[in-house]
Amino acid sequence: MSLVEIHPDSNFPIQNLPYGIFSTAENPSPRAGARLGDFVIDLAMLDEENAFGKHFGFFADASLNRFMAAGRGVWREIRQRLIRLAGEEQASLKKEALRPIHDAQMHLPVHIGDYTDFYASREHAMNVGVMFRGRENALMPNWLHLPVGYHGRASSVVLSGTDVVRPRGQVKPKDAPPEFIASRQLDFELEMGFFVGTGNDLGKPIAVEDARDHIFGMVLLNDWSARDIQAWEYQPLGPFLAKNFATSISPWVVTMDALEPFRVAGPGQDPAPLPYLGSDSANGLDITLEVTLQSARMDAPQIISRSNMKYLYWGLEQMLAHHTVTGCNMRPGDLCGTGTISGPTEDSYGSLLELTWRGEKPIALPGGESRTFLQDGDTITMKGYCQGDGYRIGFGEVMGKILPPK
């Protein structure tokens, strides 16, 4: 029996208990909380009252970084203590530590020092490759041998609900000189993000078999993309301005311990990766994903994509091992994105670039509207969850509305 009654369809049952940073009008200091149903558990208050058996101090911080740096042993200790506090028949979790979610102002959960985005979906890489290079040359020669990635911009990672201003940049129309315009091909990218908890020293890689001990948890991630700017700028060094203007994440960090029951076998990897990347068959996660679009004229959102993280070719542990194999040092709070998660069917593609096949197949919306790429006033919302037996481990949502260029 839990202190808080949880609906079976809730994203936040006692099996989840994700972490975030919140404040209230009563106490405007940002601090750590755990989500339980429609409430936030004030971890700073519990810590002050020695509810965890000892005083940690880091729950009063305005980010989760020090908690994340404490290591997997502490993460598990706190999680198990919270489950006992909130789940006992005579719950010892004080009601004063519970804050209704509608009273909470959410903040970025982590101080993000670095952000790296991968390109881990074979279906997505194939679709984009076919569009731009033809089916015979769709995958680049390196793609099946390593998790391809690029370094993104940490300073423009924003919380769900933050509006996204349409970027301006150089584009190159066919048979015409470059021009400086507001992007006409603004897109979303359906991704998941994972946060590094404990890092590694410079020069000492994280082994793939140890990588799980270094990953704190996951969020939904939308890596907004200006496709026309990207098409002109990306050679030879990859994305730059087309990606640096905004990346949105959901506010609650779902722990890897909460996700552990939903591990599944990932797609077979052929050729077998080099030994440093390992070959653990259970490197996938069964996370159902959904994208909706709502225009300024629509009364309700329309689902435009349903996908699943289990389709990813490269697993999180492989991404982290590859990232550090050179000796690159990761730090608590570093964020890694999976890259666009596309499935095998047309309705499971994770971007408008694919869903409309580069604008050739517009998506029909209510009231006679259609979309090839995003227009001003459009709102994109992504949701994700794992379905258990009588419970659901959810991520909530990540949402953003497109505003006109400044």
Find the catalytic residue in 7, 111, 124, 214: 124
User: Would you call the peptide bond into 236 cis, given omega within 30 degrees of 0 as the criterion?
Assistant: yes
- Whether residue 187 contacts residue 245, with contact meaning beta carbons closer than 8 Å, is answered with no
Q: CA nearest 35: which of 395, 381, 287, 399?
A: 395
- Whether residue 157 contacts residue 302, with contact meaning beta carbons closer than 8 Å, is answered with no
| H/E stretch holding 259 | helix 256-259
Alpha-carbon gap, residue 38 to 147, rounded angstroms = 38
DSSP letters, 287-325, are -EEEEEEE-TT-SS-EEEEEEEGGG-SS-HHHHHHHHHT
Alpha-carbon gap, residue 232 to 15, rounded angstroms = 46
Alpha-carbon gap, residue 318 to 129, rounded angstroms = 23
Alpha-carbon gap, residue 231 to 239, rounded angstroms = 9
DSSP letters, 347-370, are GG-SSHHHHTTTTTSPEE-GGG-E
Length of the chain: 406
Q: Is 124 a catalytic residue?
A: yes
Half-sphere exposure of 150 (CA within 13 A, CB side): 15
φ and ψ of 65, to 5 deg: -60, -45
Q: Which whole-number Å values give the CA distances from 145 to 120, 126, 134, 400, in the listed order?
A: 11, 15, 20, 34
Alpha-carbon gap, residue 354 to 372, rounded angstroms = 10
Alpha-carbon gap, residue 178 to 172, rounded angstroms = 4
| H/E stretch holding 66 | helix 65-69
Alpha-carbon gap, residue 73 to 363, rounded angstroms = 48
Catalytic residues: 124
